[in-house]
Structure 1
Amino acid sequence: MVYLTIKEESDERLHFTRQPSLNSWAILVGFSSVGLGIAYYGNDPFWLKAIYLVLGSLIGISCMDDWEECDFNKSEGEIKLKKISAWDLIFLRSEDVVVAQLSEVTNVNVKEEKVNYFGTTYQVVLKFSTGMSFGITESFTFGSSKEHYAVAEKIRNFLNIEEDAADNDFLDSASSSSMEEEDTADETADDFEHIDQSDLIDETDKSSMQQADDKKCDDQSPDDVPVETE
Structure 2
Amino acid sequence: MNTILFKAADRGTADYGWLKPNYYFSFSQYHNPGKVHFGLLRVLNDDFISGGGAFPTHPHDNMEIVTIPFTGALVHKDSTGGHGVINAGDVQIMSAGSGIQHSEANASATEPVTLFQIWVYPKVENIKPRYDQRKFDVSDRTNKWQYVVSPNEADNGLWINQDARFALTNLSAGKAISYSNAFKGNGVFLVVINGSVKVGDTTLGRRDAIGISETDNFTVTASEDAELLVIEVPMDFA
* TM band (smaller chain): under 0.3
> What TM-score do the two structures reach when normalised by structure 1?
0.24
Relative contact order higher in (CA < 8 Å, ≥ 6 apart): 2
TM (normalized to structure 2)?
0.23
- Higher Cα radius of gyration: 1
The structure richer in helix per residue is 1
